[in-house]
Amino acid sequence: MTTTPAAGLSAENVSKRFGAVHALQDVTLHFPPGQVTALMGENGAGKSTLLRILTGDHRPTQGQVLLDGTPLSLASPIDARRAGIRIIPQEPEIIPHVSVAENVYAGSLPRRAGRRLDRAELRRRITADLARLGFAKVLDPDLPGSRLTAAQRQLVEILRAFTGGTPPRAIAFDEPTSSLSEHETEALFTLIGRLRDQGVAVVYVSHRMKEIFRLADRIAVLRDGRVAGVVEASATTEAEVVRLMVGRDLAGLFARQEVATEHVVLDVKGLTTDDVRDVTLQVRAGEVVALAGLIGAGRSELALALAGDTPIRSGTVTLDGRRLDLRSPRDAIAAGIGLAPEERKAQALFLHRTVRDNTALVSLRRLRRRRFVSKSRERALAQEFADRLRVRAPSVETEVHALSGGNQQKVVLARWLARRPALLILDEPTRGVDIGAKAEIYQIIADLAREGVAVLVVSSELPEVLGLADRVLVLQNGRITGELGRSEASEEAILALAMADDLTAAPQGGAGTDTPTTATGAAR
């Protein structure tokens, strides 16, 4: 019998079955007070299931949850909240038609006599809590839920966890920085440090190694629903954590050859929208070009404009020598441009449709027999690319919502590979994806380049940018502030261009420029 330490949050001999599937098998983990325990593992390893058990969303098939050595009976998340256990979910739940303040205190809004909302008291509370938690400068309490960005929705969930009711004694963060800016991330890390100092048990789920080694005291790794190991963060390495997660080394994560040709696939001159200004760039066949910059720099906005989703005010877009008139995504798709957007669940996937439906979506015309789409052709197409990309699903008739994040992203990629685009734009292609799936996606990108596809990648992870890109274009305030070749690109050089204060001092580094702008010159 395992003896569980008295203090903190614990899972003792926890197993969870969904029919014949063993999501968790005999998991015993302890999350001590005053420490940050990173919970790591590939998608499908059991992390989310364990979090849901710890926070009352699932009941274990066997085993128990304890707080300070006392077994808990958690029939719902409300029970967990009353016990002082909180979770910041990866997918925030927001009420679209009410303000940030009303979203934060939903269920406990201050009322006057007659049950009317006490707006003065609501204003006092939200102002005090925003200041206390360090988010006063990044979140407008009057903004309606429907207008919140992904980062702002995440902040609302964080505020909910720290307002009203029993003070948190244990709190779990599930990929909390996946949509946050650098400033918002720093505010969150400061908050987590305060929680640790106050004796709160913190569970931190992330695929970002840099964050893990900055924040965590201990790292607990799940693999295939079992505990693969628990190590002290200060006494281990990234390579060892990866081995625990996937059971093997991932040497050569970014191994790829330079295969770019002289053939210009994408030629953009002076492109201006409401969010980007005077952008000039080129992408050649077989080339991977990365768009780097801080959140809000205009990277995703540029991607959406090239995909026909944002009106272009001026400038030209030419693909394979043909000038395009991009008035809608339909125009971009017909021209040979594909986009895997930043928010795959909200912007790319039909979650309650099958892998087959999602893969065939933009290839239906060539799957027709007379006037009707051939289901057998759809199925064959989906199976071909599911096999090629190693999509882990019971079948192509499985609904996409049942897949892990990495496999959902592969379905998005399968859609565009089936379409055979001349240009593929990938916006945050590995966000929320585990290290094993990342390696597979990087190989897919390398294969696409080798096949002559021009690839434009938007990424907030600088190691990813440096590992993938033949060239890096850096944006700030909607403008390209510089270009870095593979040999001169570094995290320091990219950040110098991304944070350059005087844009007029940074010459425009278009793709056709013979002498790339250096970080020193741009930041001067």
pLDDT in tens, 79-103: 988 888 988 887 778 898 999 999 9
Contacts of 6 (CB under 8 A, 6+ apart): 68, 69
CA dihedral in degrees (319, 322, 325, 328; nearest 10)?
Answer: -40
CB atoms within 10 A of CB 279: 25
In 3D space, the residue among 175, 171, 143 whose CA is nearest the CA of residue 156 turns out to be: 143
User: Do 9-92+149-246 and 252-336+422-429+452-524 share a fold?
Assistant: yes
3-state secondary structure of 252: coil
Neighbours of 466 (CB within 10 A): 20
Helices and strands (DSSP H and E) totals, the chain: 17, 22
The Cα-based distances of 475 to 152, 260, 311 in angstroms read 22, 23, 19
Radius of gyration of the chain (CA): 24
CATH fold for the domain made of 252-336+422-429+452-524? Rossmann fold (3.40.50)
Question: How many Å from the N-terminal Cα to the C-terminal Cα in the chain?
Answer: 64
What pLDDT is recorded for position 326? 93
Which segments of the chain have a pLDDT < 70? 1-6, 43, 114, 164-166, 248-253, 255-256, 500-524
Helix (H) or strand (E) holding 39: strand 36-40
| Segments making up each domain of the chain, as ranges | 9-92+149-246, 95-147, 252-336+422-429+452-524, 344-420
What are the backbone dihedrals phi and psi of residue 406, each rounded to the nearest 5 degrees, phi first? -65, -40
State the Cα–Cα distance between residues 443 and 312, nearest whole angstrom. Answer: 33
Residues 412 and 386 sit within 8 Å (Cβ to Cβ): no
Give CA separation, 71 vs 29, 198, 426, in Å.
14, 23, 46
Compute the Cα dihedral for 459, 465, 471, 477 and give only its sign.
Answer: positive
Superfamily of domain 9-92+149-246: P-loop containing nucleotide triphosphate hydrolases (3.40.50.300)
Token pair recorded at residue 258: 């330079």
pLDDT per residue over 125-182, tens digit each?
Answer: 999 988 888 788 778 899 998 888 777 887 888 888 877 666 788 999 988 887 777 7
Nearest to 293 by CA among 49, 97, 509: 509
User: What element of type H or E holds 375?
Assistant: helix 375-388
Residue in this structure with the two tokens 């007070």, named with its chain if needed: 33
C-alpha separations of 110 from 100, 119, 124, 469, 480 in Å: 15, 8, 11, 52, 47
